[in-house]
Amino acid sequence: TDRKKLHTAPVGQVFRLRPFHLLVATVGGYGGYRKYEDYKLEQLEKKGVEVPVKLASEWEVALYKSVPTRLLSRAWGRLNQVELPTWLRKPIYSLYIWTFGVNMKEAAVEDLHHYRNLSEFFRRKLKPQARPVCCRHSVISPSDGKILNFGQVKNCEVEQVKGVTYSLESFLGPRICREELSFSQAPAGNSFQQQLVTKEGNELYHCVIYLAPGDYHCFHSPTDWRVSHRRHFPGSLMSVNPGVARWIKELFCHNERVVLTGDWKHGFFSLTAVGATNVGSIRIYFDQDLHTNSPSYSKGSYNDFSFISNNKEGIPMRKGEHLGEFNLGSTIVLIFEAPKDFKFHLKAGQKIRFGEALGSL
């Protein structure tokens, strides 16, 4: 009589899954499967085996986009700004250094206790002598990273990785009005690619650099040029690691990005910073009006800002000058005009550091 009665819910009610839980379980399981597939591809590539391209279907892309990556990225950004107790800084940063192979000997401040939060640690500056800027070549790497692809732009398409392309116009957006640029453009009747080429005999070139989480997170000016215009595309924040870039066609056109366009001594020049998961924050040092990873946006929308109307000469940038930063790793895409004898000094898949040569005439 003294025993307490145990009230139990029906078995069906205990195991009832709510839609959100089901979504998390499905996406998490599928994400794990994709990671395993990426690992297998990496092992085959290391053995020199040619890996066939297998693109994601529309439903797979839709499933991936259903993950609230923008919300997660904002939450990650808030977490990064939380000040850590002094005693906890070294263990957390040491784990990150070990996981991603960070070389702290290059950091301007090597003492881990100096960085109050993860955000400061991610955006750490380097010693001045750690990245000497190559003077002999006209275009240098704007950041540390891995070369995913490079070469001439053909048929208005750019390769994000070997065999997987995206539309040049979708990536850069509609042609900028002639009045907003400080250089002439081809007649409107030509293809989008031809409209970007301003000098007869020139070609359009591209280079894609992937920044891993352990890389130096700032990016710099790749050459002497003048920034005339900024175009910001709000969008998804899907991962941009090489495995996903090989899987999702036009990945860079789906993701949030900031396109800087202008001119250098050979004509058109552009640098695009592409956002990714946990990289909702893209900062351009001279552009205080830029705000990325907003809570809401209209699909396919973009906003323009002209540096010509506010500064008649645009924003002059010197080769190697600080240009901006990511909150974590991401991708830089260069698209520029140059004479036909321009040569890249690169190999696909190679590691590169800021200041090293990309190519020259």
Instruction: Convert the pLDDT of each residue in 292-317 to its tens digit.
Output: 877 777 777 889 998 887 556 789 99
Residue tagged active-site, from 220, 229, 254, 266: 220
Residue with tokens 């396919």: 300
Q: Classify residue 331 by its DSSP letter.
A: E
**Structure confidence by residue, pLDDT tens digits, 55-65:** 777 788 778 77
Q: Which residues contact 111 (CB under 8 A, 6 or more apart)?
A: none
Helix (H) or strand (E) holding 61: helix 58-65
* Whether the Cβ atoms of residue 314 and residue 260 lie closer than 8 Å to each other: no
The reply to whether 220 belongs to the active site is: yes
The overall longest dimension of the chain from CA atoms, in Å, is 99
Write out the two tokens for 320: 């190697």
- Specify the pLDDT at position 124: 85
User: What mean pLDDT value characterizes the chain?
Assistant: 80
Write out the two tokens for 352: 């590169």
Write out the two tokens for 355: 């200041």
Whether the pLDDT of residue 228 is over 80: the answer is yes
Write out the two tokens for 123: 């955006």
- Specify the pLDDT at position 280: 60
**Structure confidence by residue, pLDDT tens digits, 172-188:** 988 775 545 544 455 55
Cα distance between residue 251 and residue 274, in whole Å: 10
> Could you please report the per-residue DSSP string of 260-323?
EEEEETTEEEEEEEEP-TT---EEETT-TT---S-S---TT--EEEEHHHHSTT-EEE-TT-EE
Whether the pLDDT of residue 15 is over 80: the answer is no
* Whether the Cβ atoms of residue 136 and residue 223 lie closer than 8 Å to each other: no
Burial (CB < 10 A; 0-12, 13-18, 19+), residue 305, is middle
CA 40, 43, 45, 48 torsion: positive or negative? negative
Burial (CB < 10 A; 0-12, 13-18, 19+), residue 109, is middle
The reply to whether 330 belongs to the active site is: yes
- Specify the pLDDT at position 27: 46
The reply to whether 73 belongs to the active site is: no
- Specify the pLDDT at position 69: 75
Lowest mean pLDDT among 8-12, 31-35, 41-45: 8-12
- Specify the pLDDT at position 265: 93
- Report helix, strand or coil for 207: strand
* Whether the Cβ atoms of residue 218 and residue 142 lie closer than 8 Å to each other: no
Cα distance between residue 200 and residue 335, in whole Å: 17
- Specify the pLDDT at position 295: 74
- Report helix, strand or coil for 3: coil
**Structure confidence by residue, pLDDT tens digits, 83-125:** 999 999 999 999 989 988 888 999 999 999 999 988 888 888 8
Whether the pLDDT of residue 342 is over 90: the answer is yes
The rounded percent of the chain whose pLDDT value lies above 90 is: 30
- Specify the pLDDT at position 275: 85
Residue tagged active-site, from 141, 144, 206, 281: 144
- Specify the pLDDT at position 182: 47
Residue with tokens 């007869």: 200
Residue with tokens 């000098």: 199
- Specify the pLDDT at position 229: 93
* Whether the Cβ atoms of residue 251 and residue 244 lie closer than 8 Å to each other: yes
Lowest mean pLDDT among 68-72, 112-116, 153-157: 68-72
Whether the pLDDT of residue 74 is over 60: the answer is yes
More confident residue, 245 or 286: 286
Report which of 236, 295, 297 is spatially closest to residue 64, judged by C-alpha positions.
236
User: Average pLDDT for residues 67-79, to the nearest whole number?
Assistant: 77
**Structure confidence by residue, pLDDT tens digits, 240-266:** 777 787 778 778 888 889 999 999 999
